[in-house]
Chain A
């Protein structure tokens, strides 16, 4: 038994060094050399295009109604027959209606990560009248920005088409 335990310990330590240190460190070095921007979190001057933010006011496009706290990722976990979920969604629909927007489901429901950086093209188009009015722009100009920002489905079939909210708002900021 003692031989087995000694052998186990030696092998476990070998794996610890190879798989726990050499492998991730080599991968980190390679990733930093080949993809310095992406390996570091796809950061722009205004945040990460992969991490959602809570946008304020009617001058910007809004993302999913997530907490957007990157230190606490995760969904709400409310069940499909939860009164709380139904009431939350009702309140969000009311808020959008007051802003003159007819919301789509993603604009009133939390995401899987709690940090979803994207919305569907329909959800972006729905906000065009609100943003155009707040910025005194012709709606056609804003609508054009949205259609230029549509990404995916990747390779034409993977996942769903989406609009990255940070990229869309950055292009909005460049507009003036």
Chain B
């Protein structure tokens, strides 16, 4: 009952956010919202860029890559040098090179895969200036790319798709920072920690126990980590840690923060292309996929854990509580992790590795669909729009007409670019997971035996190539092998998708509009939303079914067997 009410409240709040934040984002990216002009104007002057001058897709892409390169180097330098920098109350040393590379790439690409425990690796300064800053800017970069693609679809005969520097800056200043600032204090009111005072040393006289409790500027980082669908925890336990996610209310707020921008961007999209119904069709497809995955994962986690049942507690209420927090319970935990893996967040409030076989399969396959339901900030929408182009292409093949989307003829170049953007991820995942499964350097760091060990490897590359960042965390992946290979997977999974998407934006912007005729396949209908869902499922199913069969499916079918 409580869970049902939680879902109702979640949907109701998101409906309001969809409309209000969606419309606000239109105004932000159209340049009509100006209440921070006093910050923007001097900044653009300092940058030497004229906010009114737009860029071609090539110029936009090169600017994005230059900024990403500089960001990565700056992050890497802070991590390496943290031992010599201030705000380091635990006197931590510099982060080693391979781990610094993996972490810098991870936060740059909005992945937040973490091969380190935060409390004993990162100084406060590193958390604040290296990691949290990337949480903001990587999210804003994703949103900028999505908006550039929307502009490509909504303009005709245009050679430009916007100004990267302006889009990046406005996303941070007008959207991410104000929401984060307000929400962080709400998190503190519930018990999230926000202090620079260093660890607390306590002695419990009742019990004779002494503890050293790490603290830090947690709330400010927690909020942007969810709002930007980043997901990297201040602490190793991520959002299961009571200092990050203290109670049921913050658990719901984190879920809402994660979903707000990806959901609202469908409204922004609809408005910018001149028909909110187009955005609703995309949102409907996202919602359908999300609902199916949420339902199956919640049911799976509401059942007892097989190992606990075999040990003698078969008929107990409360579901699978292994790796879950008492204050959240089984279903709210499942909701959180489904939300986190259907976006590109990857933050967890419970241990994915200890989920029941079908529960773990739900979170893994949610990412394998390409994170489009609703996906990461920006990345969810631009990936889904690539699927939409593929859907109209397939629809066009069925009736033998040149496909159109939003009045644009979709021709060979557009279909090729969309196909590249869609296929990069599965190819990266399957090649690297296959490689790791046959090399000792890949298999020896697994914690669990049998099919679950393979799932840990498959999950790791699925998560990194999708820029998700969650883990079947039994894999001890702080090795040179996993740091380097994982870093490559994250870079490919981010930039080899973004560049074709920007090229697509450029190609579409240059096209003229074709007036809709009697034979035009309408893309604002339930039929189109259904076709879109089918295309996502067919592409994901065909590419990943064999691999998933070897992991979670075998595990689910191994009734009564245990692996050691």
Contacts and interface: CB of A to CB of B under 8 A. Distances in A.
Interface of A: 1, 3-5, 7-12, 14-16, 18-21, 23-24, 26-28, 30-32, 34-35, 38-43, 45-48, 50-51, 53-56, 60, 64, 68, 70-87, 89-90, 93, 103-106, 108-120, 122-123, 152-160, 162, 169-170, 173
B220 A28 contact: yes
A70 B2 contact: no
Contacts of A162: 326-327
Contacts of B312: 89-90, 93
B26 to A, nearest CB: 24
B437 interface: no
B554 to A, nearest CB: 10
Nearest to B131: A20
Contact of A85 (B214, B316, B322, B355): B322
Interface string B301-315: 000111110111100
Interface residues of B, number: 126
Contacts of B450: 81
B188 A16 contact: no
Given A108-B311, A160-B327, A81 B241 contact: no
Interface stretch (B60-68, B491-499, B531-539): B60-68
26 contacts: A3-B48, A4-B66, A14-B46, A15-B136, A15-B137, A19-B177, A20-B132, A31-B219, A46-B204, A74-B117, A76-B354, A81-B450, A81-B452, A81-B562, A85-B305, A85-B308, A89-B308, A104-B318, A105-B316, A113-B237, A115-B242, A116-B327, A120-B318, A152-B327, A158-B6, A160-B328
Given A9-B70, A34-B188, A50-B191, A160 B211 contact: no
Contact of B321 (A84, A106, A156): A106
Contacts of A28: 194-196, 217, 220
B53 interface: no
B563 A76 contact: no
B132 A170 contact: no
A160 B329 contact: yes
B459 to A, nearest CB: 11
B307 A27 contact: no
B165 A50 contact: no
A35 B130 CA distance: 27
B348 A20 contact: no
B119 interface: yes
Contacts of A170: 206
B311 A32 contact: no
B297 to A, nearest CB: 13
A31 B189 CA distance: 8
A41 B213 contact: yes
B436 to A, nearest CB: 18
Given A20-B133, A35-B188, A108-B313, A73 B195 contact: no
B185 A80 contact: no
Interface stretch (B243-251, B425-433, B480-488): B243-251
Contact of B128 (A21, A93, A111): A21
A78 B168 CA distance: 41
A39 B455 CA distance: 38
Contact of B326 (A46, A74, A111, A173): A111
Nearest to A54: B209
Contact of A5 (B70, B332, B348): B70
B136 to A, nearest CB: 5
A27 B211 contact: no
Contacts of B194: 27-28, 31-32, 39
B474 to A, nearest CB: 4
Contacts of A80: 305-307, 320, 322, 354-357, 360, 452, 555
B185 A109 contact: no
Given A23-B220, A34-B189, A39-B188, 18 more contacts: A7-B47, A15-B136, A28-B194, A39-B193, A45-B205, A70-B211, A72-B120, A74-B117, A77-B353, A77-B447, A80-B320, A104-B316, A105-B305, A112-B323, A112-B351, A158-B252, A160-B329, A162-B327
A158 B2 contact: yes
Given A83-B563, A109-B305, A112-B325, A73 B66 contact: no
Contacts of A115: 237, 241-242
B558 interface: yes
A87 B531 CA distance: 48
Given A27-B185, A113-B241, A43 B326 contact: no
Contacts of A160: 2, 248, 326-329, 332
Contact of B351 (A50, A75, A105): A75
Q: Which 6 A-B pairs have the closest CB atoms?
A: A159-B248, A160-B329, A158-B248, A112-B240, A83-B564, A20-B129
A157 B6 contact: yes
Contact of A118 (B310, B326, B558): B326
A70 B354 contact: no
A39 B189 CA distance: 8
B237 A75 contact: yes
Interface string B208-239: 11011111010111000000000000011100
Contact of A77 (B117, B119, B472): B472
Nearest to B559: A81
B543 interface: no
Nearest to A172: B206
Given A53-B207, A80-B320, A23 B177 contact: yes
B202 interface: yes
Given A80-B322, A108-B308, A116-B325, A12 B74 contact: yes
A159 B133 contact: no
B98 interface: no
Nearest to A97: B312
A158 B10 CA distance: 11
A150 B202 CA distance: 25
Contacts of B197: 40
B181 A27 contact: yes
B216 to A, nearest CB: 9
